[in-house]
Amino acid sequence: MTEKLWVTSLTVCLILLLSAWHLSQGSADIDWLAVTELQRTIIWDIRLPRWLLAVVNGIALGLSGAALQLLLRNPLAEPGLIGVSSMSALFTVTVLYFGWAAASSWFLPLLALVGGLSGLLLVVLMAGRTYDIHRVILAGVAVSSLAAAAMGLILYLAPNPFAFQEWSLWTLGSLANRSWPQLYLVLPVVVVGIALLAFWRQLLTALTLSENTVASMGFKLVSQRNGILLAVATMVSGSVVSVGIIGFIGLLAPHTVRLLGVQHPQKVLWYSAPAGALLLLAMDILTRLISGPRELPIGIVSALVGAPLLIALLFRQQHARKLTG
């Protein structure tokens, strides 16, 4: 069986299996052979949008993680690294905190997108006109820390005791209590992000080789790097505004693909989309399985599962380095 057929068959089977499991989960029992009007409403307004949100956000995070790992030539890169999600969350929390969200239904998503893109702008300005991936990483860490500090300050000064709840809602991520409006927010933004990524995708393959080689091959490194960062920032901002910050999916999706023996950058990139969707569906199923009456934020579950996996990856990388000398 060819690699493509084997990976596609496995992905389709797993998506069908996990989707069926995901859609059947919930407090209400559903008789799928004789659906009542109430059950139809539960499926249509609660379960289906939640399933779609998991799939779309998983795709966005999987693609973003893979694109960043390929761009930064670092297998431990993930969307949180470039400061976009933190800035997007900061703007979201600020809007909610000051009660500006009531002004217009588009105000919150628009400002979250502006937050994410301004985070990207800061990173790009700090990285400068030279192509130095270490500067991008350091700039991303600086912007993330700045956004986290600003969020902490807002909470510290908050007269409202419920401010912390709002903060945790966005920084720990959740698929609960979401419906079609959140899906309408994230879907177009993710589609734009995917289109941008497809446009600049070849740089990611070329970056298998050294930066000097890639520049000599006719690639405009700085502008194309910024284009890919824009694609990632767009997708991550869309994801944060719909479900908050969900960590580790972007890190784990490309590694799951590589564990199947896939190494070519383009394949790792595009296979990371279904891998991200599968991982987020699995995390959401797990979240609901282990939650009591009050549902845990999915970000906590993904960190609980993802952090040990990250440690395992670090040890694996160290072991591989020892073997190759």
Partner 1 sequence: MSLKLTDVSLSGIARDRLHEINLALTKPGLVGVIGANGAGKSSLLKVIAGLEKVAHGEVVVGGKRLSDLNSKQRAALLSYLPQNEQAQWDITVTELLAIGLLQHSLGKQQRAQRLQKWLNYCDLTGLAERRLSTLSGGERQRAFLARALISEPQLLLCDEPTAALDIQHQLQTLKLLKEQSRAGRLVVCSLHDLSLAARYCDRLILIEEGKLLATGAPASVLTDTNLARAFSVSAEWFCHSSGVAWIPQPLSEGD
Binding site for partner 1 (CB under 8 A): 70, 73, 202, 205-210, 212-213, 215-220, 263-265, 268, 324
Phi, psi of 33 (to 5 degrees): -90, -25
Task: Tell the smallest beta-carbon distance from residue 220 to partner 1 (Å).
Answer: 6
Give the residue with the Cβ less far from partner 1, 112 or 275. Answer: 275
User: Token pair for residue 315?
Assistant: 């040890």
Residue with tokens 């539960």: 42
CA pair distance 69, 120, nearest whole angstrom: 16
CA pair distance 228, 47, nearest whole angstrom: 33
Give the residue with the Cβ less far from partner 1, 171 or 256. Answer: 256
| DSSP category for residue 152 | H
Long-range contacts of 216-223 (CB under 8 A, 24+ apart): 221/131, 222/129, 222/130, 222/131
CA pair distance 73, 255, nearest whole angstrom: 14
Give the residue with the Cβ less far from partner 1, 165 or 324. Answer: 324
Task: Tell the smallest beta-carbon distance from residue 140 to partner 1 (Å).
Answer: 19
Task: Tell the smallest beta-carbon distance from residue 132 to partner 1 (Å).
Answer: 14
Give the residue with the Cβ less far from partner 1, 261 or 292. Answer: 261
Give the residue with the Cβ less far from partner 1, 88 or 272. Answer: 272
Task: Tell the smallest beta-carbon distance from residue 306 to partner 1 (Å).
Answer: 22
Residues 6 or more apart in contact with residue 81 via CB below 8 angstroms: 68, 72, 137, 140, 141, 144
Task: Tell the smallest beta-carbon distance from residue 303 to partner 1 (Å).
Answer: 27
